[in-house]
Every structure is written in structure tokens, then in C-alpha cells.
Structure 1
Amino acid sequence: MKINADWSQRVVMDANVTDWIDSPSPGVKRKLLERDGEEVARATSVVRYEPGSHFARHVHEQGEELFVLDGEFCDGTGRFGAGSYIRNPPGSAHAPWSDSGCTLFVKLRYFDPSDQARVVVHTHDEPWLPGLVPGLSVMPLHDFRTEHTAMVRWAPGTHFNPHRHHGGEEILVVEGVFEDEYGRYPAGSWIRSPHLSAHQPFSKEGCIILVKTGHLIAQTEDTAA
């Protein structure tokens, strides 16, 4: 299965209008934003656990990254409420569940094999740092080599400078409305922009985004070769 699997293409999806698809575990459904493979796949998805649902124990051979959008997600390492950011490194395993139900943003099989750090950030408890322009605040979540992941908060009326993304950029709009010269993206929008893409983003209404940069190089370079 290939869904938006070509990193050289810009992709915009609204998860609010994307269909839910059953997973192998009853009560666990997915919205597929990007996928390259079958059940074991490099994938980006929104995942919903109904109350009381669980997923069988499994190994993340190439890592798992997730952000809890609502509810409470659980596994053998703890309970993680809305706003929790978790990275489970390559080779890690768990059997997750949710007592109350939850919705997650999940990325699978993206990790550099050398990136072995497990990361847990409770973003509601962490401070915001000043951004590069007035009205912008940043909360770093993880950095490894060229890859950088952060929460970014835009006050209403904030404009950023024109810039180009070496290694591409991926954005999930968590709250509010994010914009650039190509469009307007409400909460639930997922935008993937390829290596060396450029834009000038802003937010008239204010927003919070989960943003990752520098991780879309390898496939592009392989294609060019």
C-alpha cells in the first residue's frame, strides 16, 4: 500500500474529513495520512482508541513517535494525557491501551537507527521559549542530526520570514488556524513540504503546530541518485 509515499511531493490533508479504517485490534481505528507498506509500514496516521480498547504487544523495529491529541494513552511505562509527546526508539516494544479512549498522531519507522533515546515530554508542563520573530514561541521536543521536532505557538497576527526547508518540513495543526501563501489550514490539517521547499507562513487567528524539519532527505537523495 502506498499513500502519499513520495517525499518529493507536497501533501496537504485534513484529518477531520479523512475516513477511519479498522486496525487489526478491535476498537482501534486509523486515518491514514501517509503509508508505504502493509501492516508493517513506514506510516503517518491519526489513531483512535475507543474506551477499553488495546493493541497486542508489538516491537517497533524502526521506532515510533506519537503525540496525544486527546484522552489518555497507556502502556507499560505509564499513562500519558493530552499534550504528551513520546518517542519509542528502534527495538522497543509495548502493548498499549486506553481506559478512557484517546486520539493520537503517530509516525512509524522514521528513526535513524542510531537515535536510541526514549523521549517523553508533557508539553502542558514545559515552558515556551521566545521564537525568532515577535509573537512566536517554541517548545523543543527532540533533535537528532538534521531532524528537529518542536511545538510552535503563534499569537494572532504573527508573520514569519520567508524561508526554505533543507530536509523538508512536516506540520500538524493542533489548535487554531495556520496559513501561508498556499492556503489556510485549520486544526487537524497535516502538511508535508519536500526538501528545499519554501514558504512564508503566518497566522491571523493564532495557532499551535507540531512541526518536524530535516527528516525528508534520504528518500529524495536516493531518488536523485
Structure 2
Amino acid sequence: MLINADFSQRASLAVEDYQWVNSPQNGVERVMLDRIGEEKARATSIVRYAPDSYFPHHLHPGGEEILVLAGTFSADDKDYPAGWYLRNPPTSGHKPYSREGAVIFVKLWQMLPDEDQHVVIDTQNTANWQQHGEHQVCPLFSNDNEQVSMQRLNAGVALFATEIVGGAELLVIEGELIEAEQTYKRGSWIRLPVGSVAQLNAGAEGVTIYLKTGHLAQIENIDFENF
């Protein structure tokens, strides 16, 4: 299965265009944003858990990155309400579930094999935020290959000031992001290839986004023959 699999091209999905498809597990649906592979896949998805739904315990050979968007996501007897960011390195495993229901943003098989850091961050905790110029930033993860953060921008503030050297990927968490005549509402996803120039500005009420940069310059390091 190939969905938005050419990483040299821009890709996006507005929230009003979501198409929910069933996963192999009852009560769990997903919106596929990009994907190379079938159930074993390099994938970026929005995943929705119905109340009392779950996946059996399983491993993630290529790692897993999660941002909880709504409800409460749980794994191995730990609860993560909306706003929690989780990063589980390659070869880690868990049993994910939700008692009340949850919506999460998930990236699978997108870490290099030598990554070994577990990350758990509450982005709702104001102590985790810093001021960087006109941007409020909650750092989530950074290494030589990628930089991940949550960012808040006041109305009209530009997301990017220069060319996007290593590419970028973002998800609108709150508010709106404006590009020319296009409005990206909460839940909208955009992937910008290496070397892009994009005039994206916060809407009238400001915007909060998840932002990953640099990783698309490393795409040649992913062994797609495994999928």
C-alpha cells in the first residue's frame, strides 16, 4: 500500500477530508496520512479508539511516536490524557488501549535503528514551554536527524521565515493555519519536502501545531525493502 509515498512531493489532508478505515482490531479506526506497506508499514496516521478498545501486546521494530489528541490513551497500565507526547524506540513494545476512547497521532517505523531513548512529555504543563522570538515552543525531541516540538503562534505570525532545508511535517492541534486562500483547521496535516518555501501564518485566534523538521532529509536511510 502506497499513500503519499513520494517524499519529494508536498502532501496534505484537511480535517474535513478524513476517511476513517477499520484497523484489524475491533473498535480501532484510522486515517492514513502517509504509508508504505500493509500492516507492517512505515506509516503516519490519525488513530481513533472507541471506548474499551485495545490492541494486543505487540512490538515496534522501527519505533513509534504518539501525540494524544483527545480522550485518554493508555498503555501497560499507564494513562495519557490529551496533550501527552510519547516516543518508544525501536524494538520496544506495549499493549495500547483506551477505556473512555481516544484519538492519537501516530508515526511508525520512522526512527533510525540506534535510537534508544524513551520520551514522555506532558505538553499541557506550562513548565515545558519556552519563548523563542514570536513562537512559544515545547521541545519534544531532537537529534542529528530530526527536531520535534509543539509550537504556539499568535494571530498573523509566520511559521517559517526561511526555506525549509530539511523538510517539515505539521499537524494543527488548535486554531487555524492560513496559506493564501487555504485554511487548515484543527486536525489538518501538511508535509513539506526538503527545500520548500511555504507562507503559513497563524489564523485570527492564533494556532498550536505539532512540528517535525529535518527528518525528510534522512528518508534515504529508511530500508523500505522491509515493507
TM-score range, shorter chain: over 0.9
Shift of 1:87: 0.3
Q: How far is the alpha carbon of 1:221 from its aligned partner?
A: 8.6
Structure 2 counterpart of 1:132: 133
Normalising to structure 1: TM-score of the pair? 0.92
1:40 aligns with 2:52: no
Q: Which residue of 2 aligns with 1:15?
A: 15
Offset at residue 130 of structure 1 (A): 1.0
Asked whether 1:5 is paired with 2:5, we answer: yes
Alignment check: 8 A CA contact 1:50 1:100 kept: yes
- The question of 1:87 aligning with 2:122 is answered no
Residues 126, 112 of structure 1: alpha-carbon distance in 2 compared, 3 angstrom cutoff: farther
| Counterpart residue number, 1:152 | 151
Structure 2: which 5+ runs fail to align? 223-227
Contact 2:159–2:202 at 8 Å: present in 1 too? Answer: no
Contact 1:12 1:192 in 2 (8 A): yes
Residue 220 of structure 1: how far off its partner (Å): 5.9
Structure 2: distance between partners of 1:47 and 1:17: 15
Per-residue CA deviation, residues 37-87 of structure 1 (Å, 9 max, x unaligned), is: 000000000000000001011100000001000000111161100000000
Tell me: CA distance 1:214–1:178, structure 2 relative to 1, closer, same or farther (3 Å): same
- Give the match for residue 98 of structure 1: 98
Partner of 2:203: 204
Instruction: Say whether the 8 Å CA contact 1:8–1:220 is kept in structure 2.
Output: no
The amino acid of 1:132's aligned partner reads: G
- Report if the CA contact (8 A) 2:175-2:203 is conserved: no
C-alpha separation in 2, matches of 1:196 and 1:112: 22
Cα 1:57–1:176 change in 2 (3 A) is same
Size of the alignment, in residue pairs? 220
Partner-residue secondary structure (3-state), 1:197 = coil
TM-score (norm 2): 0.92
Contact 1:72/1:98 (CA < 8 Å) preserved in 2? yes
Q: Which residue does the alignment assign to 2:113?
A: 113
Q: Distance in 2 between matches of 1:24 and 1:161?
A: 39
Q: Aligned in 2, Cα 1:57/1:46: closer, same or farther, shift over 3 Å?
A: same
Shift in Å, 1:129:
1.0
Task: Give the Cα separation in 2 of the matches to 1:16 and 1:98.
Answer: 25
Once residues 16 and 92 of structure 1 are traced to their aligned partners in structure 2, the CA distance between those partners, rounded to angstroms, is 34
Paired residues of 1:163 and 1:200 also in contact (CA < 8 A): no
The code of the aligned residue for 1:11 comes to A
Structure-2 separation of matches of 1:38 and 1:215: 22
Kindly provide the amino acid, as one letter, of the partner of residue 138 in structure 1: V
Gap regions ≥5 residues in structure 1:
none
User: Which stretch of structure 1 is more off in the superposition, 123-132 or 171-180?
Assistant: 123-132
Which amino acid in structure 2 is aligned with residue 196 of structure 1?
G
Is the Cα–Cα contact under 8 Å of residues 28 and 50 in structure 2 kept in the other structure? yes
SS in 2 for 1:219: helix
Is the 8 Å Cα contact of residues 28 and 47 (structure 1) preserved in structure 2?
yes
Q: Distance in 2 between matches of 1:10 and 1:34?
A: 11
Distance in 2 (CA, whole Å) between partners of 1:69 and 1:110 is 20
